């Protein structure tokens, strides 16, 4: 049996997660029992929601007990199988945890279809971040061609796909991101019509006004707080505000009080949150659409790849410092 290297959560972070919150632990991988498969982890997805799992009983999932392995999803290769329908060499998607060699029941594994895209596509533009952008824009945001769309954290995993879906659907898109390099990526590679560097703008609401001179029909919000407030000031009649995430508030000592809700009322607008898991039964629909756009070349993808399991805690901290460009993943094995 190979060794299974794991990362255990051993202390709760006070702010941004740090490698010191985790301890490395090595145990022999567990031989698969009936119905199970032994896997080798290839990629782990690093997501802002993981920070909330590190706290005690907050967020939309139970906090991870101290001393237990960190949760996390990704893609793995089947090494040995006693699970019907899975053979060595198959590539699967699952809640793997931060470990190199998980042993998991077959009912929790989903085989990935390489005719839709590569392994890197499955962790990126066919992965859950991309699926989040798809349902957030379409089902919650009721995206229509010609909409004036604004996306925050536009250079990130969810944001880069949201910008591109809106652009592909014939919308006018502006993206908000931190720093000149990210804005060049949003306005260049992603094809947004305008990019706003919120870190360089003393008055974000005014900057949004310049970038979206006709206002906003759909705001796809990844950050919450003052950015959401500034966007609300520019809503057009019938606007939709999609609450996808609120990363600016995750670590805030005091929640930011939104001031511009009157603008939502004046616009006869609506604001709605969602969780991608609500759409579990429709992931295939999103993936078919996204894969077709990958094939025709209209959907691009920037993966920010960190090498080795030990980098997973480093990566989680990077999300909260804005140090990632694109979808952040850890390559555990090639």
Ligand X SMILES: NC(=O)c1ccc[n+]([C@@H]2O[C@H](COP(=O)([O-])OP(=O)(O)OC[C@H]3O[C@@H](n4cnc5c(N)ncnc54)[C@H](OP(=O)(O)O)[C@@H]3O)[C@@H](O)[C@H]2O)c1
CB 79, min distance to ligand X, A? 29
What is the Cα–Cα distance from 39 to 287, expressed in whole angstroms? Answer: 24
What is the distance, to the nearest Å, from the Cα of residue 283 to the centroid of all Cα atoms in its chain?
A: 15
Instruction: Decide: 326 and 160 in contact? Cβ < 8 Å.
Output: yes
Q: Which is nearer to ligand X, 49 or 261 (CB)?
A: 49
Which region, judged by CB under 6 A, interacts with ligand X, from 80-88, 110-118, 243-251, 285-293?
A: 243-251
Q: Which of 165, 319, 330, 332 binds ligand X (CB under 6 A)?
A: 319
Rule CB under 6 A: is residue 134 a binding residue for ligand X?
no
Rule CB under 6 A: is residue 196 a binding residue for ligand X?
no
Rule CB under 6 A: is residue 132 a binding residue for ligand X?
yes
What is the Cα–Cα distance from 160 to 129, expressed in whole angstroms? Answer: 10
**Which residue is associated with the tokens 């190199």?**
100
Rule CB under 6 A: is residue 322 a binding residue for ligand X?
yes
**Parallel, antiparallel, or unpaired for β 235-243 and 270-273?**
parallel
Rule CB under 6 A: is residue 301 a binding residue for ligand X?
no
Rule CB under 6 A: is residue 174 a binding residue for ligand X?
no
Q: Which is nearer to ligand X, 224 or 269 (CB)?
A: 224
- String marking each residue 77-106 x if it binds ligand X according to CB under 6 A: ------------------------------
Beta bridge partners of 91: 77
Which DSSP helix (H) or strand (E) runs through 231?
helix 225-232
* Number of CB atoms found within 10 A of residue 237's CB: 10
Instruction: Decide: 97 and 72 in contact? Cβ < 8 Å.
Output: yes
Rule CB under 6 A: is residue 124 a binding residue for ligand X?
no
Binding site residues, ligand X, CB under 6 A? 47-49, 129, 132, 153, 155-159, 177-178, 182, 222-223, 244-248, 274-276, 319-320, 322, 324, 328
């Amino acid at each position: 049996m190979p060794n299974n290297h794991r990362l255990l959560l051993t202390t709760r972070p006070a702010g941004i997660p740090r490698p010191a919150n985790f301890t490395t632990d090595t145990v022999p991988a567990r031989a698969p029992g009936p119905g199970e498969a032994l896997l080798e982890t290839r990629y782990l997805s690093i997501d802002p929601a993981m920070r909330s799992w590190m706290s005690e009983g907050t967020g939309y999932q139970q906090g991870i007990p101290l001393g237990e392995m960190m949760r996390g999803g990704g893609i793995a290769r089947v090494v040995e199988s006693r699970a019907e329908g899975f053979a060595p060499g198959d590539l699967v998607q699952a809640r793997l945890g931060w470990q190199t060699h998980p042993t998991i029941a077959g009912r929790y594994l989903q085989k990935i279809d390489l005719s839709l895209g590569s392994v890197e596509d499955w962790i990126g533009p066919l992965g859950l971040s991309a699926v989040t952008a798809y349902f957030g824009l379409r089902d919650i945001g009721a995206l229509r061609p010609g909409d004036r769309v604004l996306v925050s954290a536009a250079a990130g995993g969810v944001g880069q796909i949201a910008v591109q879906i809106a652009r592909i659907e014939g919308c006018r898109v502006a993206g908000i991101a931190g720093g000149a390099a990210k804005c060049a990526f949003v306005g260049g590679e992603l094809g947004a019509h305008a990019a706003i560097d919120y870190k360089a703008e003393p008055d974000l609401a005014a900057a949004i006004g310049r970038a979206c001179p006709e206002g906003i029909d759909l705001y796809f919000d990844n950050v919450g707080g003052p950015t959401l407030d500034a966007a609300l000031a520019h809503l057009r009649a019938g606007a939709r505000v999609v609450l996808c995430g609120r990363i600016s508030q995750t670590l805030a000592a005091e929640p930011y009080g939104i001031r511009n809700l009157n603008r939502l009322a004046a616009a006869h607008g609506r604001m709605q949150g969602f969780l991608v898991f609500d759409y579990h039964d429709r992931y295939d629909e999103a993936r078919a659409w996204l894969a077709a756009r990958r094939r025709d070349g209209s959907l691009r993808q920037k993966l920010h790849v960190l090498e080795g399991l030990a980098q997973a805690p480093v990566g989680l901290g990077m999300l909260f410092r804005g140090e990632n460009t694109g979808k952040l993943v850890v390559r555990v094995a090639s």
